[in-house]
Homo-oligomer: A and B are copies of this chain.
Amino acid sequence: MDIAKRFTQNPLIQPEDILASVQGAEVECLLNPGVFKFEGKTYLLMRVAERMKQREGYLSTLVVDPTKEGGVSIVEFALDDPKLCYDDARVFSYDGKTYLTTLSHLRLAESEDCINFKVQPKPLLLGLGEYEDFGMEDCRVTQMGELYILTYTAVSEYGPAVGKITTRDWKTFTRDGIMLAPPNKDCAIFEEIIDDKFWCLHRPVVKVDSWSELNIWLASSSDMEHWGNHICLAKTRPGMWDSQRIGAGAAPIRTEQGWLEIYHGCDETSRYCLGALLLDLSDPRKVIARSEEPIMEPLEKYEQQGFFGNVVFTNGHLVDGDCLTLYYGASDTVICAADLSIKEILQTLLS
C-alpha cells in the first residue's frame, strides 16, 4: 500500500530548470539526489545527466577531461566513419574505445523551505580520473558530526564501482578513491558507530552465466577506508515486487524499533517501488522485518512517464520527528518529494 503523501508542488525540479554545464549540451535527466542539511539550509546533491545536441550526420558526446575548463570536452564522429559502432542508445564505440551517450555529474540545489530549490548553475562534482571516465551517479550523503561522507557510483569502462569523497565545508573535498571494487553500487554508510565499527550497505552487481544476483549486502570497517566481513542482508524475492533487483537508499534511520532502511526494488516489468527493512539496533546483521508490499509505488503521471517510466527511486531524505521526507527521482527524469510517517512505516513492518 502506498503510504506516501506527495508534495503538491511535484515535480520540484525538472531538466528544463537547469543550465547545461557545457555549451551545446542539454540536461536530459535529473536523478536520485543525496540530501543533507548544512548551515541551516537543505541541499540536494542531484545526478544531472547531460547529452550533446546532435548535428545531422554526426554523433557527439561529452567526455570527462580534467585538462578542459569545466572538466569536460566534446567529441564528435561522422556517422559514416567506419571506426564508429553504434547500435545502443546508451553506449557506442569509436576505434575500440567505449563512450556513453550521456554523462552524469553531481550538482547542488539549495532550499530554505525544503520545497523551493535553487539549482547551482555549475556542477559541484565532476568525474575525475580513470574510474570516473563516464561520470558520477546516485550519491548518498552520510553525516557524522561535522563530517559529510559521500558514497557514489563511479562509472567507467571498469564497470560501476563505489567511490568515496569527504568534506566538512562543502568547498574543499577529499577524494578517497574506490572504496568498493566494481561491480558495485548503491552504497550507504550508517551515520553511527555500532559495536565499535562503521557499517555500510552495498549492492554487488553479480551476473553469472544464466542468472543475476542483485541483492543488498552489509559490510563493516574500522576506519571507513577498508571494508570487510561482507554478508548478504536481503535477497530479491521471486514473485514479489522486489523480485529482480534491490538496493539501499540513504543511510538507515535510527528508530526505537531498529534501523529503518528505505530501499528500492524492481520486478520483472522493471517497475521500481520503495519498501523498508528493519535491522537490529545493536547488530545490523539481523533483519527484524521487511516490507511485504511496497510503501511507495509509481502512481503519479510524472512517476510513470519519462526517460525510464514507472520508477520511484530514493537515496536521500530528511527526518523531522515522525516525518520522513523522501526526495526521489521519478521516471529517471524529475526530482520529487513525499512525506511518510515513520510510525506508519513501522506499523506496516511489525503488524
Contacts and interface: CB of A to CB of B under 8 A. Distances in A.
Contacts of A230: 161, 177-181
Interface in A56-95: 88, 90-91
Interface in A205-225: 205-211, 213, 215, 217, 219-223, 225
A96 B227 CA distance: 33
A204 interface: yes
A9 interface: no
A98 interface: yes
A320 B230 CA distance: 37
Interface in A138-165: 157-161
Given A213-B157, A215-B158, A231-B177, A208 B226 contact: no
A204 B131 CA distance: 14
Contacts of A130: 232
B181 A217 contact: yes
A184 interface: yes
Interface in A165-196: 176-184
A141 B285 CA distance: 29
B182 A204 contact: yes
B229 A228 contact: no
A238 interface: yes
Interface string A116-136: 000000000000001100000
A159 B238 contact: no
Contacts of A107: none
Given A158-B206, A227-B226, A180 B181 contact: yes
Chain A: number of interface residues, binned into ranges:
35 or more
A245 interface: no
A310 to B, nearest CB: 20
Contact of A179 (B213, B221, B228): B228
B229 A202 contact: no
A228 B225 contact: yes
Given A157-B213, A181-B204, A210-B88, A229 B225 contact: yes
Given A158-B215, A206-B159, A211-B98, A231 B183 contact: no
Nearest to A178: B230
Interface of A: 88, 90-91, 96, 98, 130-131, 157-161, 176-184, 202, 204-211, 213, 215, 217, 219-223, 225-232, 238
Pairs of residues from A and B, 10 with the lowest C-beta to C-beta distance, nearest first = A159-B206, A226-B226, A226-B228, A178-B230, A181-B230, A207-B207, A225-B228, A183-B206, A181-B204, A182-B206
